[in-house]
Structure 1
């Protein structure tokens, strides 16, 4: 039995749960992080010295970092198309996995904290403007790459679509007046939103946590 440590509403945990759901794998989930605590307990730190979620246990194998977990699950349990081995497709999939963390994550989390968890009178609107402008530019990049494609790497759905899909769903909750026109991204979003894992986990309201970035 696979075990996942982490609260189901955490953004990084959502990626892993979506992957598991699409693969139709049975798993046990243990609440950890934020209001559930446990991540600083010695029991958990023996599994993950970072004290972050998620952490996956597969028999005796322990793995942390959400994108690494998805890579592992796809390689061990998934169809070849989920994490392709052909060198160019493999590199392309990894590119978007890395890009989601480097380009989108640094602005998604503080924007969610500002726009959803902070009272309007306490928001730093200058920071919101800077972050949302940068985020709009980056989503426009994804939109350009999705022109003529079903999914971010081409014809087949991959774990890169999961990584981007969780963040795109979060972006949908933001009320911003500078969202770009992204017809290709919008069409892609409609496709990925039909996935079982999206319907079960990605739509859960996220809980921002600037320290949780794995």
Structure 2
């Protein structure tokens, strides 16, 4: 059976779990990381030498890096749909996935970490302020894109929507921005309404 190692409160694990659920795949999720530990054990490090989550085990094949796991599952089980078969459409989706990981996520990391992982008395509010200042222009960019497109790529749900929806779920959960992004909110509402998102977007941030 397909196995996904990682606690569901992790944004990166949520990407993998939602993908598997969207594809209707049977899988087992095994808690690891955070309070569950495990990731520093020799057994886990034999699967993932980075000691992070998630890790996917598909038979004898082991894969890590969350966006790569999303790509792999979509390519294997949804070629031409979640995983675009047209080369230009595929790389349109790919670039948004990379943008989430290399641009959007780093910008918002301090706001998330200080607001959720750091005790209130110890929070560095300047880091939160700087993180919000870095993230809001990126949300403006995403808003502009979604004002012209129903989904991130191809005019339909694809693998590109999965990492970004997980990122938006985390950002909106912080409730620290005063601006509104109606097109992002409308797109996210469509995502949230999908049955496959059950158990992914209904849990608190941690």
Q: TM-score range by the shorter chain?
A: over 0.9
Distance in 2, Cα, partners of 1:33 & 1:18: 18
**Structure 2: gaps of 5 or more residues:** none
The aligned counterpart of 1:180 is 179
More deviation in 159-168 or 108-117? Answer: 108-117
TM-score (norm 1): 0.91
Q: What is aligned with 1:167?
A: 167
DSSP 3-state at the match of 1:197: helix
SS at the partner of 1:173?
helix
Note if contact 2:173-2:205 (Cα within 8 Å) is conserved in structure 1: no
Distance (whole Å) between structure 2 residues aligned to residue 182 and residue 201 of structure 1: 22
Alignment of 1:123 with 2:91, yes or no, is no
Moved more, 195-204 or 42-51: 195-204
Aligned positions of 1:90-105 closer than 5 A: 90-105=90-105
Q: For 2:36 and 2:116, how far apart are their aligned partners in 1?
A: 21
Per the normalisation by structure 2, the TM-score is 0.94
Instruction: Judge which range, 161-170 or 121-130, deviates more.
Output: 121-130
Q: How many residues align?
A: 206
Partner of 1:211: none
Tell me how far apart the structure 1 counterparts of residues 120 and 174 of structure 2 sit (CA, whole Å). Answer: 13
Any conservation in 2 of the 1:17–1:197 contact (CA below 8 Å)?
no
Q: Which segment drifts farther, 82-91 or 198-207?
A: 198-207
Cα distance per residue 1:138-190 (max 9 Å; x no partner): 011011111131101141101111100111111111232x4433221111111
1:56-95 paired onto structure 2 within 5 Å: 56-95=56-95
Secondary structure (helix, strand or coil) at the match of 2:81 reads: helix
What CA RMSD, in Å, does the superposition of the two structures yield over aligned residues? 1.5
Describe the superposition over 1:70-109 as per-residue Cα deviations: whole angstroms up to 9, x where unpaired: 1110011125220102122111111010000111211333
Aligned counterparts of 1:87 and 1:28: Cα–Cα separation in 2: 32
Q: Is the 8 A contact 1:63 1:69 kept in 2?
A: yes
How many Å separate the matches in 1 of 2:178 and 2:90? 30
Q: Which residue of 2 aligns with 1:201?
A: 200
Contact 1:71 1:83 in 2 (8 A): yes
Assess if the C-alpha contact under 8 Å between 1:169 and 1:203 holds in 2: no
Q: Which runs of 5+ in 1 are unaligned?
A: 208-214
